[in-house]
Amino acid sequence: MTQNIEKFDVIVVGAGPAGNAAAYTLAKAGKKVLQLERGEYPGSKNVQGAILYADALEQLIPDFRDSAPLERQVIEQRLWVMEDESYVGATFRSDRFNQMPGNRYTIIRARFDKWFSEQVQKAGALVICEMTVIALLRDESGKVIGVEVDRKDGKIYADTVILADGVNSLVASRAGLRQDIKPAAVALAVKETVFLPRETVEARFNLKGSEGVVIEMLGSISQGMAGTAFLYTNKDSISVGIGCMLSDMKAQNTTPAELLEKLKTHPSVAPLIAGGETREYAAHLIPEGGYKALPGLYGEGWLLVGDSAGFVNAVHREGSNLAMISGRLAAETLLELGEKGLPSSAANLARYKARLEDSIVLKDLKKYRNIPETLDSQRQFLTDYPALLNDAAHEFFTVDGRDKASKEKAIFNAFRERRSLLGLLGDAYRLWRATR
């Protein structure tokens, strides 16, 4: 006996930030929304560093700070350019962050996503977990009209399907809506959550209350591969991780676990996590192909949002915020079509892309469109410069018999020897080009 499950206005596939933002916006506006998640609960399969940028969530839930499970409010941002035994760093710490509503927080995604999903359900969406979409249903003209799930009697219909099923987007790939991700367009990131007493975290990072610190790292820790590392303070744990382009890892025959072990023993990192107990280990792919690797974002009856659309700004470590923004914009596009009585045709869904282009999602991705290629072909930015910078600092801060002018000259000569004068000018130009 085949039972027919009723039809929905929108089916959202996936309960991460993008899917939740879309489902929340649509349900709140009164649409009949079904959200399907293959994990045991929303957040069970989701991995992130994780930093929450408040703005994107505030657009959806202005008072989220009252109920969302936030770890620490980031008041200090450090950037470390690393060599094997040292780092040159820049730090911005400001108490002004304490005097305004928080702009960025550390979060634990399993908890945060669960909370976010509760808001979605309160808004009126039907959320069903442990249900995996295996195919898209189409009518004779090819328009997407629903999904088929991995369970008996599992055909479910909707006017529009929003695919928020993450970086692999198996559904979109299988349906031919986008290509499989390429190793050169995706980073493999791993992280450990190291538990320490709250007081220890606060003492080591000079924190009080719910203040938090973020450290972003690059340089020798990625062993010449395109990648960065991070260390985030949570309430009573520290998230430490590293990610590099999958194609690089393959070429170097390195595993992310090796990279992470090395990072953890770096003399500047080890004391920060010393004595902690690793209780979680997670790995995830991050679409870092940027603007040039974006797939088609919409079509007849379907939209891609979040990681499945490749919305990650690798330079600024932004992704979940772009996911939320894209989810909201996808929803708002559908609400606009609904008001005007227009169907979810590809021609009408083009408005979604227009909204994205008008937002930081595509504006920022466009700005950094050349970064992946630059980093891929110009490895000196990840190898030579961090080394030069650290050597220079070492030279400069060692007081010995030599006069300062000689020291400066030695430093400059070191740069020139390694990169040549033209090389230095060329690198400056390349960096300037890649970031505008």
Partner 1 sequence: MHIVVCIKQVPDSAQIRVHPVTNTIMRQGVPAIINPYDLFAIEAALALKDQLGGKVTVLTMGPPQAEAALKKALSYGCDDAVLVTDKLFAGSDTLATSYVLASAIRTLDQENPVDLVLTGKQTIDGDTAQVGPGIARRLKLELLTYVSRIVRVDPAARSIRVERRAEGGVQVLETRLPALITMLEGSNEIRFGSAPDLFRAARAQVRRWDRNAAGIEDITKVGLKGSPTIVSRVFVPSSRARKALQIGFDPANPEVATQALLDKLLAEFPKVKKELDNKRAAAGERHE
CB-nearer residue toward partner 1: 74 or 156 = 156
For 180-204, letters b (16+ CB in 10 Å) and e give: ebeebbbbbbbbbbbbbeeeebbeb
Q: Of all helices (H) and strands (E), which one includes residue 385?
A: helix 384-396
In Å, how far from its chain's centre is CA 368? Answer: 15
User: Which amino acid, one-letter code, is at 233?
Assistant: T
Smallest distance from partner 1 to CB 319, Å: 24
CB-nearer residue toward partner 1: 132 or 383 = 132
Q: Are 264 and 270 in contact (CB under 8 A)?
A: yes
Smallest distance from partner 1 to CB 34, Å: 9
CB-nearer residue toward partner 1: 155 or 394 = 155
CA distance 160 to 10: 5
CB-nearer residue toward partner 1: 130 or 384 = 130
Smallest distance from partner 1 to CB 41, Å: 8
248 burial via Cβ count (<10 Å: 0-12, 13-18, 19+):
buried
- Distance (Å) of CA 358 to CA 315, 339, 361: 20, 21, 8
Smallest distance from partner 1 to CB 157, Å: 12
Q: Are 382 and 224 in contact (CB under 8 A)?
A: yes
CB-nearer residue toward partner 1: 19 or 256 = 19
CB under 8 Å to 337, separation ≥6 — which residues? Answer: 343, 344, 348, 349, 351
What number of other Cβ atoms are within 10 A of residue 373's Cβ? 13
Smallest distance from partner 1 to CB 5, Å: 6
Of residues 73-132, those binding partner 1 (CB under 8 A): 126-128, 130-131
Q: Of all helices (H) and strands (E), which one includes residue 57?
A: helix 54-60
CB-nearer residue toward partner 1: 63 or 199 = 199
CB-nearer residue toward partner 1: 148 or 384 = 148
- Interface with partner 1 (CB under 8 A), residue total 14
Smallest distance from partner 1 to CB 192, Å: 15
Of residues 207-226, those binding partner 1 (CB under 8 A): none
Smallest distance from partner 1 to CB 424, Å: 51
Of residues 134-173, those binding partner 1 (CB under 8 A): 149, 151-154, 156
Task: Note whether 296 binds partner 1 by CB under 8 A.
Answer: no
CB-nearer residue toward partner 1: 154 or 343 = 154
CB-nearer residue toward partner 1: 11 or 57 = 11
CA distance 4 to 6: 6
Residue showing tokens 């919305």: 311
DSSP letter string, 253-306: T--HHHHHHHHHHSTTTHHHHTT-EEEEEEEEEEE---GGG----EETTEEE-G
Smallest distance from partner 1 to CB 279, Å: 8
Smallest distance from partner 1 to CB 152, Å: 4
Rule CB under 8 A: choose which of 3, 99, 141, 377 binds partner 1. Answer: 3
Of residues 14-43, those binding partner 1 (CB under 8 A): 40
Q: Are 168 and 181 in contact (CB under 8 A)?
A: yes
Residues near partner 1, by CB under 8 A = 3, 5, 40, 126-128, 130-131, 149, 151-154, 156
